[in-house]
Amino acid sequence: MAKKKPLVVVTRRLPDLVETRMRELFDTRLNETDKPMSQAELAEAMRTADVLVPTVTDRIDAGLIAQAGDQMKLIANFGNGVDNIDVTSALRRGITVTNTPGVLTEDTADMTLALILAVARRIVEGAHVIPADDWTGWSPTWMLGSRITGKRLGIVGMGRIGQAVARRAKAFGMSIHYHNRRRVAAEIEESLEATYWDSLDQMLARMDIVSVNCPHTPATYHLLSARRLKYLQPSAIIINTARGEVIDENALTRMLEAGEVAGAGLDVYESEPSVSPKLVKLAKAGKVTLLPHMGSATREGRIDMGEKVIINVKTFMDGHRPPDRVLPSML
C-alpha cells in the first residue's frame, strides 16, 4: 500500500512552480487568497498538519506551539530569519525547524547597496522630480549628495549577507569595517581588506555608513540602542535590510528628526507592516528612504527559497536530517 502523503500547510502564496511541485509531492494545503492566516487558523494548522510552511508574516509563538498535535513534526520556514518562530519551544516539543539560508544572500546584499546609493545620492528624491514636472534644468549646486568612494562602511553582522555586502562595497571603493560575534577567518578579512572592531561602540563612532546585516535574536534586539546610536557622527547614514528590531527605531527616528544622523535607508521595521508616521514624514521630506521589506524579493530568489523548503520537507519525510535545520546554537 502506498504511504500516506504528509499534510503540509503553506501559509502564503508561493511561486506557481513551487506550489505545483509541493502538490505533487505532498498532501499540500495552499493559501489561494494569500491573506495572512489568523492565529486561530494557524492553531488549527498546528493541530492537524504534519508540516507547517510559514513565512515572516506568521508569528509561531509558544502558545501556538503548545497547541500542536502529536503529528506536527516539522516547521519548514520559507525564509532565512526565524525570529517569527519560537524555535526553543518547538525543539522542546520535538518539532524540527528548518529555514532557507544561502539563496537570498546576493539579492539582499544588492538591495543593501541599492539603499546605500539611494540615500547617499538622493536617488528617490531625484526620481520624483521629472514625473512631478519640477525640473527647471541643471544647476551646479542642486541635488548634491555624498560620494560613496573612499567612505568607511561599518557592517554589523559579518555572516553570508554581510560578506556579500562587503564584496560589493569594496568594488565601489569603500573601506570595509565590521563588528561580529566572532572575528571571521583571516583569508576572508584579507580578501575584503576588512577591519574588525571588537567594540561596536567604537566602530559606530568612526563610520560614514553603517549597515545592519545580523539576524534578530534575543542578543541582537536593540543592539543599536539609543545609547549606541548616539555614537554616530551627524553625517552618518544608517542602512537596515536585516530586521527592524535590531535598531531602536524610535531612538533613530528622534535622531533623524533632530539632524543628529544624516539619513537612513530602511527595508525592515519594528512593527511590520505598520511603519511609524514619523518615519513616513521623514521619507516625504527626503530624509530617509523606506522600502517595504523587499530585500530578497526576486523571482529567482523566491523559487530558490521554495526549492529549499521542498528539499527540507522531503528529506525530513524520507527519514533523514533536513539540510537546513535550525539548531539552538544558531539562536
Residue whose C-alpha is closest to residue 252's, from 275, 218, 284: 275
Determine if 295 is a binding residue for ligand 8YV (CB under 6 A).
yes
Please tell me what DSSP assigns to residue 59.
-
Give the number of other CB atoms < 10 A from CB of residue 24.
10
Q: Residue 173 CB, nearest distance to ligand 8YV (Å)?
A: 28
* Residues 157, 224 contacting (CB under 8 angstroms): no
Decide if 177 is catalytic: no
Catalytic residue, from 189, 260, 272, 307: name it: 272
Nearer to ligand 8YV by Cβ, of 61 and 125: the residue is 61
Site string for ligand 8YV, 55-94 (x = CB under 6 A): xx---------------------xxxx-------------
Determine if 46 is a binding residue for ligand 8YV (CB under 6 A).
no
Catalytic residue, from 257, 293, 307, 325: name it: 293
Cβ contacts of 253 within 8 Å, gap of 6 or more: 276, 278, 279, 282
Decide if 23 is catalytic: no
Determine if 97 is a binding residue for ligand 8YV (CB under 6 A).
no
Q: How far is it, in rounded angstroms, from Cα 275 to Cα 296? A: 19
Decide if 243 is catalytic: yes
Burial of 207 (0-12, 13-18, 19+ CB in 10 A): buried
Catalytic residue, from 243, 245, 270, 302: name it: 243
Q: Residue 52 CB, nearest distance to ligand 8YV (Å)?
A: 13
Is 28 strand, coil or helix? Answer: strand
Catalytic positions, written as ranges: 243, 272, 293
Chain residues that interact with ligand 8YV, rule: CB under 6 A: 55-56, 78-81, 104, 295-296
